[in-house]
């Protein structure tokens, strides 16, 4: 069957085997290979929305294929696809080079098939991107489900896509920017893993369709979507309300979200992650909707700051043991405030006590590369994490985990740090898409970073990251949180990047 659209996820670099980049540190804490093979969650919302509106969709994760097999021929694979449109994601900027290489391959193999780009980085760089002869359309914004269906209808009927909101396109070589008018407050999106499974069976392609396909089944999780345009405004994040130019948070109906979470839990033994702090929108309604459905498997919630006993009790009343992710960023409360999170360690530690006493577990993330942060301060954050991990895991084995990393390799375009570097304490090494493509092709991670801070240079960030991350691996091993080949793998990535290839 000829799909209406093939959604292609590119590797960060196609020729990484020849280039031999030492970028492993960049993915050491996110369980991804250095080609960044996770496709954006938007692929799953697009799959569901488009199929619900009678379109055929093919998801093809080229990054997983390229990473797993030296013999995989991306050009041959693209040649075999015959969609009405190719959809390439440029969501995370690390794919700047791979996405444009992929667009070129699509055009060379199928000159008559239009190539569409989407994702947050594609939206930010739409004016630069549309200049490429290999790019025909760009759909801007965080919500492109309905505009994409409109575009497919226009293409089917041979009409000019003049009425498709958020679309950037070309008419006789001239760029046309349709109004950026679609940014819904109530999101008509769903993630339906049943569809994903049907998709896997239809195309006999397991790893190419699972979010965690590269390492599956050793590592697997399910994500859901709570909101778009987070209200938190962390300095380096490009997914914030401010960065997206939203006037309001994009939210979902709590009953639909609760149904989705439960049906996901019925399909798979793995936990379901709910990213984005649910306190941003009617938490009581979601908690109540979940409680009524009596989930039995773990649900992991991300909180942007301490919840306090009353809220944590409410979360615990849903049923499964609490599983909370928090990012205090630093042990230093002033640095934490500077990054956008104004709370003290006392409240954080009170939350940990409550969560662990209640039989739950927690994960803490610390950040390297906050303006004003020095090498000594980074190491004090590791000391702080070590104290917490040793103290709590002695009493509640395996229940408190933590990690530390810089935002690698790029701070997000559109973020406060990217738009106001001097005011926020950053210095940038690249602004344009072309400059970021060039950075991605540097072999040494020290030359890839698009930023440094007022207190740490790029080289210092990587050096201190290597040291801090290696120490964290040791702490986590001692606390029984990291074992065997996983510890070896993380250590190898850290050492490779930290040595600049001299190891
Ligand atoms: S990094 Fe901060 S701003 Fe971005 S989604 Fe997470 S909490 Fe929101």
Secondary structure of 285-335 as H, E, C letters: HHHHHHHHHCCCCCEEEEECCCCHHHHHHHHHCCCCCCEEEEEEECCCHHH
Going by C-alpha positions, the residue among 236, 232, 154 that lies closest to residue 139 is 154
Cα 302 to averaged position of ligand 1 atoms, centre (Å): 10
Residue 500 is predicted with a pLDDT of: 57
Cα 232 to averaged position of ligand 1 atoms, centre (Å): 6
Cα 413 to averaged position of ligand 1 atoms, centre (Å): 14
pLDDT at 29 over 80: no
Q: Which atom of ligand 1 is nearest to the CA of 340?
A: 2
Q: How confident is the model at residue 220 (pLDDT cuts 50, 70, 90)?
A: low
Mean pLDDT, residues 24-29: 76
% of the chain surpassing 90 pLDDT: 79
pLDDT at 365 over 70: yes
pLDDT at 95 over 50: yes
Q: Which atom of ligand 1 is nearest to the CA of 237?
A: 4
Q: Which atom of ligand 1 is nearest to the CA of 230?
A: 8
CB 291, CB 316: distance < 8 Å: no
Residue 294 is predicted with a pLDDT of: 93
Residue 199 is predicted with a pLDDT of: 86
Residue 449 is predicted with a pLDDT of: 96
pLDDT at 30 over 90: no
- Summarised one tens digit per residue, pLDDT across range 317-356 is 999 999 999 999 999 999 999 999 999 999 999 999 999 9
CATH classification code of 5-177: 3.40.50.2300
Cα 196 to averaged position of ligand 1 atoms, centre (Å): 27
- Do 5-177 and 221-367 have matching folds? no
Q: Which atom of ligand 1 is nearest to the CA of 327?
A: 7
Cα 276 to averaged position of ligand 1 atoms, centre (Å): 7
CB atoms within 10 A of CB 424: 21
Of the listed ranges 81-95, 161-175, 218-232, the one predicted with least confidence: 218-232
Q: Which atom of ligand 1 is nearest to the CA of 232?
A: 3
Cα 235 to averaged position of ligand 1 atoms, centre (Å): 9
CA distance 246 to 293: 32
Regarding the beta carbon of 249 and ligand 1, being less than 6 Å apart is answered: no
Q: How confident is the model at residue 266 (pLDDT cuts 50, 70, 90)?
A: confident
pLDDT at 502 over 50: no
**Using CA atoms in the order 433, 438, 439, 445, what is the torsion angle rounded to 10 degrees?**
150
Report the nearest-CA residue for atom 6 of ligand 1: 276
CB 276, CB 227: distance < 8 Å: yes
CA distance 386 to 484: 20
Regarding the beta carbon of 407 and ligand 1, being less than 6 Å apart is answered: no
Average pLDDT, the chain: 93
pLDDT at 216 over 70: no
Residue 318 is predicted with a pLDDT of: 96
pTM, to two decimals: 0.94
Q: How confident is the model at residue 501 (pLDDT cuts 50, 70, 90)?
A: very low
Q: How many helices (H) and strands (E) does the chain have?
A: 21, 17
Regarding the beta carbon of 257 and ligand 1, being less than 6 Å apart is answered: no
303: Cβ contacts below 8 Å, ≥ 6 apart: 277, 279, 324, 325, 326
pLDDT at 307 over 70: yes
Regarding the beta carbon of 230 and ligand 1, being less than 6 Å apart is answered: yes
- Summarised one tens digit per residue, pLDDT across range 288-298 is 999 999 998 88
For residues 41-70, one letter each, b for 16 or more C-beta atoms within 10 angstroms of the residue's C-beta and e for the rest, the string is bbbbbbbbbbbeeebbbbbbbbbbbbbbee
CA distance 415 to 99: 21
267: enclosing H helix or E strand:
helix 254-267
Regarding the beta carbon of 240 and ligand 1, being less than 6 Å apart is answered: yes
Q: Which two tokens stand for residue 180?
A: 């950026």
- DSSP class of residue 30 equals T
- Pocket probe for ligand 1: among 236, 239, 249, the residue whose CB has the most ligand atoms within 8 Å is 239
Going by C-alpha positions, the residue among 44, 47, 58, 195 that lies closest to residue 113 is 58
| Cα 221 to Cα 82, 134, 216, 327, distances in angstroms | 31, 35, 9, 19
Q: How confident is the model at residue 212 (pLDDT cuts 50, 70, 90)?
A: low
CB 295, CB 318: distance < 8 Å: yes
Q: Which atom of ligand 1 is nearest to the CA of 277?
A: 7
| Cα 303 to Cα 83, 130, 283, 345, 455, distances in angstroms | 41, 37, 12, 15, 28
Report the nearest-CA residue for atom 2 of ligand 1: 234
Domain boundaries defined on the chain:
5-177, 221-367
pLDDT at 387 over 50: yes
Regarding the beta carbon of 233 and ligand 1, being less than 6 Å apart is answered: yes
Q: Which two tokens stand for residue 157?
A: 């009927």
pLDDT at 10 over 80: yes
pLDDT at 503 over 50: no
Cα 240 to averaged position of ligand 1 atoms, centre (Å): 6
Regarding the beta carbon of 417 and ligand 1, being less than 6 Å apart is answered: no
pLDDT at 129 over 90: yes
pLDDT at 242 over 70: yes
CATH of 221-367 given 3.20.20.70, 3.40.50.1820, 3.30.930.10, 3.90.1720.10: 3.20.20.70
pLDDT at 32 over 50: yes
Report the nearest-CA residue for atom 5 of ligand 1: 230
- Summarised one tens digit per residue, pLDDT across range 393-417 is 999 999 999 999 998 899 999 999 9
- Summarised one tens digit per residue, pLDDT across range 464-499 is 999 999 999 999 999 999 988 888 888 887 887 666
Rg (CA), the chain: 22
Cα 364 to averaged position of ligand 1 atoms, centre (Å): 14
Regarding the beta carbon of 232 and ligand 1, being less than 6 Å apart is answered: yes
CA distance 465 to 406: 7
Regarding the beta carbon of 304 and ligand 1, being less than 6 Å apart is answered: yes
pLDDT at 363 over 70: yes
Q: Which two tokens stand for residue 324?
A: 């909370």
pLDDT at 226 over 50: yes
Cα 96 to averaged position of ligand 1 atoms, centre (Å): 22
CA distance 250 to 228: 5
Any alpha helices (H) in 361-483, and if so which ranges?
Answer: 375-395, 416-419, 421-424, 433-440, 458-478
224: Cβ contacts below 8 Å, ≥ 6 apart: 191, 257, 260, 261, 264, 272, 273, 274
Q: Per DSSP, what are the bridge partners of residue 299?
A: 272
């Amino acid at each position: 069957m000829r799909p209406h659209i093939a959604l292609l996820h590119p590797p960060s670099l196609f020729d990484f085997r020849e280039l031999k980049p030492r970028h492993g540190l960049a993915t050491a804490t996110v369980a991804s290979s250095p080609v960044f093979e996770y496709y954006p969650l938007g692929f799953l919302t697009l799959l569901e929305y488009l199929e619900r509106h009678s379109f055929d969709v093919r998801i093809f994760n080229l990054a997983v294929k390229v990473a797993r097999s030296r013999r995989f021929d991306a050009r041959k694979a693209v040649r075999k696809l015959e969609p009405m449109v190719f959809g390439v994601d440029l969501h995370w900027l690390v794919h700047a080079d791979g996405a444009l290489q992929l667009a070129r391959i699509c055009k060379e193999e199928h000159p008559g098939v239009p190539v569409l780009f989407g994702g947050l980085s594609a939206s930010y760089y739409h004016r630069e991107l549309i200049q490429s002869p290999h790019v025909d359309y760009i759909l801007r914004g965080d919500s492109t489900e309905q505009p994409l269906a409109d575009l497919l209808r226009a293409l089917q009927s041979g009409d000019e896509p003049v009425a498709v909101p958020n679309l950037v396109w070309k008419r006789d070589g001239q760029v046309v920017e349709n109004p950026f008018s679609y940014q819904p407050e109530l999101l008509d999106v769903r993630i339906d893993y049943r569809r994903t499974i049907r998709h896997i069976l239809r195309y006999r392609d397991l790893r190419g369709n699972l979010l965690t396909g590269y390492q599956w089944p050793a590592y697997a999780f399910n994500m859901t979507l709570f909101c778009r345009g987070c209200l938190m405004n962390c300095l380096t994040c490009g997914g914030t309300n401010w960065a997206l130019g939203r006037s309001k948070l994009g939210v979902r109906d709590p009953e639909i979200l609760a149904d989705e979470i439960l049906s996901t839990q019925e399909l798979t033994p793995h936990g379901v992650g709910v990213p984005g702090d649910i306190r941003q929108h009617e938490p009581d309604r979601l908690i109540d909707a979940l409680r009524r459905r009596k989930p039995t498997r773990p649900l992991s919630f991300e909180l942007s700051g301490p919840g306090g006993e009353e809220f944590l009790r409410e979360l615990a009343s849903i049923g499964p043991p609490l599983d909370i992710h928090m990012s205090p960023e630093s042990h230093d409360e002033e640095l934490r405030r500077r990054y956008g999170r104004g709370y003290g360690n006392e409240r954080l530690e009170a939350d940990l006590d409550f969560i662990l006493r209640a039989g739950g577990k927690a994960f803490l993330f610390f950040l390297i590369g906050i303006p004003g942060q020095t090498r000594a301060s980074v190491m004090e954050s590791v000391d702080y994490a070590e104290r917490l991990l040793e103290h709590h895991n002695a009493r509640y084995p395996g229940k408190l985990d933590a990690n530390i990393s810089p935002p690698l390799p790029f701070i997000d375009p559109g973020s406060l740090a990217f738009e106001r570097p001097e005011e926020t304490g950053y210095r940038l090494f690249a602004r344009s898409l072309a400059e970021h493509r060039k950075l991605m092709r540097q072999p040494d991670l020290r030359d890839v970073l698009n930023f440094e801070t007022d207190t740490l240079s790029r080289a210092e960030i990587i050096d201190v990251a290597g040291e801090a991350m290696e120490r964290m691996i040791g702490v986590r091993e001692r606390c029984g949180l990291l074992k065997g080949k996983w510890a070896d793998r993380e250590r190898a990535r850290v050492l490779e990047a930290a040595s600049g290839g001299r190891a």
